[in-house]
Structure 1
Amino acid sequence: MSDQAEKLRNRIKRQMNGNPSKTIAIISGKGGVGKSNFALNFSISLSKHQKKVLLFDLDIGMGNIDLLLGKSAEKTIANFFTDECSLDEIIQKTDYIDYIAGGFGLNHVIKLSGGRVDNLLLELGHIVYEYDYLIFDIGAGITDELVQLLSSIENIVVVVTPEPTSIMDAYSTMKIISLHVPTVKFFLLGNRMKNEKENKQVMKRLQTVMNSFLNKDSVIIGFLPEDSSISLAVKKQIPFILYKPNSFASKQVQLITSFFLTANTFISIENERNFIEKLKHFLIRK
């Protein structure tokens, strides 16, 4: 009870100070591009700057956050959707971040229906003042319900690898989101790149297509290399930013973290208030 009371006090204090969570979604056009690994290490990097972070694994039934942490969550997002648990009840704690597991090996498929998204947005409205950052790890594939959720998130990081299929799928995903949310901001992150030169070549190509066909600007925020420390960390089920904090990959994540901590042009209190207003909009739209 004392923990719950302290949580409520902190939530009210942040709400009175007008400090809602900043929201960032991590997406990709296809699976297997290292999106969850980046989301986890980015979240931990934010926490090292004294930020309170909740990482939300929305790759339902195929979640990787547990595996990457070497943990097994007692409750997952499946319990929220099927057992009427609150988000507070399914939040898992670590030394660095809190997280909500996506679950894997489920006995049945859980779809994000409109009603379930409404319930999720309502619960998010309850905890939005409790954290500095809400990071959403979004599963591959875009549905109407996911677009609805992404519509309330101001900043979207798109993870892209050099493979042509990854580039085209990323473009297709951004096109669908842009058609529904014209004001969305995209931040491009390369993964498994040989070097900065390759990253620029791939991202410039993607930016050119977006400008030509969508009339949409985007921001390149960096890249992660092909780094043996990443694969070793995955095998050991330790986030690479903790396993090898001085590796090139870890330093790249730190640079990306610094960008989001200082880029007030892209992430502002005004924009994050829009997140809350959009939550209210979806909840009363019917």
Structure 2
Amino acid sequence: MHKTSEWLQSFSTTNNPTKKSELRRASDFACTKISITGGKGGVGKTSIALKTAKELALAGHRTLLIDCDSNLSNTAIKMGLPLDNKFEKLLSAEANFEDCLIQQGNFHLLPACNGSISVFESKLNFDEIIIDIIASHEHEYDFILLDCPAGVSREILTLNAYCDHRWVIVTPDKSSITDSYSLVKLLATRFGIKENHLLVNMYQSEKQFQKVVMTLSETIENFLGARTHILGGIQKFDVDASGFDTFFLSENKNEWNKNFVKLLYGFTEKVGGPLTSPLNGTSQLAYEHDVH
């Protein structure tokens, strides 16, 4: 894990964050790394991570989604797949990376574990393991997405800081806004991260969306001197909770799906060129709004 150790030590041996970007991107590969994150649980991070990864894969990009909730992995559950703890064997070197993947065309998923005693009792640094996996396999992918658990633990902050981009998922709930600010604050002060992307989930009106955006982005700018790129939002829709993922993750060409795809095209166009739309075979772009 020498690559990871060097990267981590760069932050403990100096308070100067200016070398952050070059340290984070040690390779010349064109893989884009995105963390799907947020301070609070239950805001839709996993569903959004899955939707993003699947849409990127449909557009022809080799995409890896890594579930970073080491012992409460939910990605496979949301896909309706049986649980397994193959990741345990990857940690113990009894299995290789490919053995642990769920592969569906260009979409690859690396689930973590569920209630594993050995993972619970281990002394492993999960963030270092994930970073080493990325460093070893990023040349195989166009995009690597991290589905990060809620909170502001050292491991979560490290994984977020390592990525090229961070999508902070927030809802209009006050605790979600407060916790997301705390996440951004720690990333800024500990790792020198001064740019993040914001996606507002489950808003009920345009007025509410704008209020969340202005409250969070202006606070981040005024107190942290950081920039917030507004990805857009996902409006709350009238679907029973048990059917939300089926509806949201489906490939049906409903308005919610079209809006999300446009949101994604806006992001990818800005960071690396437009995607070909799986909706109609043409490029459909939606641009981010910057607040700075």
TM bucket (normalised to shorter chain) is 0.7 to 0.9
Secondary structure (helix, strand or coil) at the match of 2:188 reads helix
Give the conservation status (yes or no) of the 8 Å contact 1:60–1:78: no
- Following TM superposition, by how much is the alpha carbon of 1:239 offset from its aligned partner in structure 2, in angstroms? 6.2
Task: Tell me the residue number matched to 2:148.
Answer: 138
Task: Tell me the residue number matched to 1:212.
Answer: 222
Q: What TM-score do you get using the length of structure 2 for normalisation?
A: 0.75
Q: Work out whether 1:56 is the aligned partner of 2:63.
A: no
Secondary structure (helix, strand or coil) at the match of 1:228 reads coil
Task: Tell me the residue number matched to 2:248.
Answer: 240
- Following TM superposition, by how much is the alpha carbon of 1:80 offset from its aligned partner in structure 2, in angstroms? 2.8
Q: Work out whether 1:39 is the aligned partner of 2:46.
A: no
* RMSD of Structure 2 on Structure 1 (CA): 2.7
The CA distance in 2 between the partners of 1:196 and 1:61, in whole Å, is 37
Give the conservation status (yes or no) of the 8 Å contact 2:85–2:112: no
Q: 1:211 to 1:196 in 2, by over 3 A?
A: same
Residue by residue, what CA displacement relative to the aligned partner does 1:119-160 show, whole Å, maximum 9, x if unpaired?
432232121011110000000112223322222211000000
The CA distance in 1 between the partners of 2:36 and 2:133, in whole Å, is 20
- Following TM superposition, by how much is the alpha carbon of 1:95 offset from its aligned partner in structure 2, in angstroms? 4.5
Q: 1:266 to 1:195 in 2, by over 3 A?
A: farther
Using the TM superposition, name which of 211-220 and 117-126 deviates more. 117-126
Quick one: which of 142, 157, 160 aligns to 1:150?
Answer: 160
Give the conservation status (yes or no) of the 8 Å contact 2:67–2:112: yes
Q: Work out whether 1:178 is the aligned partner of 2:185.
A: no
Residue by residue, what CA displacement relative to the aligned partner does 1:67-109 show, whole Å, maximum 9, x if unpaired?
1100025444344334554333311112551101133233365
Q: What TM-score do you get using the length of structure 1 for normalisation?
A: 0.77
Q: 1:62 to 1:249 in 2, by over 3 A?
A: farther
Output aligned runs, 1:81-120, within 5 Å: 81-82=91-92, 84-95=94-105, 97-107=107-117, 110=120, 115-120=125-130
- How many percent of aligned residue pairs carry the same amino acid? 21
The CA distance in 1 between the partners of 2:151 and 2:92, in whole Å, is 22
Task: Tell me the residue number matched to 1:201.
Answer: 211
Q: Work out whether 1:24 is the aligned partner of 2:31.
A: no
Q: Work out whether 1:65 is the aligned partner of 2:75.
A: yes
Structure with larger RCO (C-alpha < 8 A, sep 6+) = 1
Q: Which amino acid aligns with 2:250?
A: L
The CA distance in 1 between the partners of 2:180 and 2:203, in whole Å, is 16
- How many matched pairs? 247
Residue by residue, what CA displacement relative to the aligned partner does 1:36-90 show, whole Å, maximum 9, x if unpaired?
0111011111112111111111112222211110002544434433455433331
Give the conservation status (yes or no) of the 8 Å contact 1:56–1:136: yes
Give the conservation status (yes or no) of the 8 Å contact 1:86–1:123: no
Q: 1:184 to 1:95 in 2, by over 3 A?
A: same
Give the conservation status (yes or no) of the 8 Å contact 2:77–2:83: no
Q: Which amino acid aligns with 1:53?
A: T
The CA distance in 1 between the partners of 2:123 and 2:262, in whole Å, is 37
The CA distance in 2 between the partners of 1:143 and 1:63, in whole Å, is 17
Q: Unpaired segments of 5 or more residues in structure 2?
A: 1-27, 275-292
